[in-house]
Amino acid sequence: MADLGYKGVQLPTWDARCIDLKKAAESKTYADELTGIVRESGMEITELSTHLQGQLVAVHPAYNEMFDGFAPDSVKGNPKARTEWAVQQLKYAAKASANLGLNAHATFSGALLWPTMYPWPQRPAGLVEMGFKELAERWMPILNVFDENGVDLCYEIHPGEDIHDGITYERFLEATGNHPRANMLYDPSHYVLQQLDYLQFIDFYHDKIKMFHVKDAEFNPTGKSGVYGGYQDWVNRPGRFRSLGDGHVDFGGIFTKLAQYGYKGWAVLEWECCIKHPEQGAAEGAPFIASHMIRVTDKAFDDFADSGADEAANRKILGI
């Protein structure tokens, strides 16, 4: 990956081939060894990810069997034990991130309300409030551990999660008492598929965006299928993920907005495409991202015309 031009890698913590998460949380020596392995390749660890474990913090019973695949055998078929395992995993991730010198972490929120996303039958009064209250109660102990370790917890705003757009993020944030570590991972591909204004999203939430997945997508509705996709395979859905530059995302606009607001994090390629081979996507990804990076100017373009006027001169110009 370094040979392809990448500068860092986001480690998936559920894959033991990449990291022993518990050991990284408990041993600074082991964390330093991991950092050294990556640096030997000319790369950095950008962040850790607990997407699969975060999903298991909150699972609606309708999804028990399908999400059991994310859990170790020891807790499968036992939702309570599975949730406890997931919570502990997130706490390990906070400490491991600190040991690795990282300041942001990627995860999913999980979902208790997702089966009621489309209101049919009508949602009972108080259901949404109760769902976000429960979700916040599950995450508060985790958020507090992240705070103790000086790491921002960044929820990927993603369909299938109870935090899937700006409004649901605000509901969750309010339910946590505006916890300072409850931040965002910004991925425009999921906003294209929802038909959400992903550029204005940055205007609204730029102070909460601490991570950025650079992923492309396209939306091509037809007379037969739209946002919900008709249960079709990815290649046939109107909304589908694409390799960088092959979709509809305005990355020039995104990088401009993030530069405008002083975004300090990494730009991480997340590759998912239903058409292109991953090796081709990987080879094209780093140059694509590099071509969109903006070196923010320290001067205004019209500084050459500055007349150096003082207050007296300004009063004279205004005729006062």
Task: Please tell me the distance from the alpha carbon of residue 67 to that of residue 56, in angstroms, as a whole number.
Answer: 7
- Rounded alpha-carbon distances, angstroms, from residue 49 to 121, 201, 261: 35, 23, 25
| Domains assigned to the chain | 8-318 (3.20.20.150)
Do the Cβ atoms of 151 and 94 come closer than 8 Å? yes
Phi, psi at 48, each rounded to 5°: -100, 155
Q: Count how many residues are written for the chain.
A: 320
Task: Convert the pLDDT of each residue in 72-128 to its tens digit.
Answer: 999 999 999 999 999 999 999 999 999 999 999 999 999 999 999 999 999 999 999
Residue 75 CB-density burial (10 A; 0-12 exposed, 13-18 middle, 19+ buried): middle
pTM of the model: 0.96
Distance CA 44, CA 35 (A): 7
Residue for token pair 């999980």 = 110
Q: How confident is the model at residue 6 (pLDDT cuts 50, 70, 90)?
A: very high
Could you tell me the two tokens for 187? Answer: 């991925």
In the predicted model, is pLDDT for residue 276 greater than 90?
yes
Residue type, 302: D
pLDDT of residue 301: 83
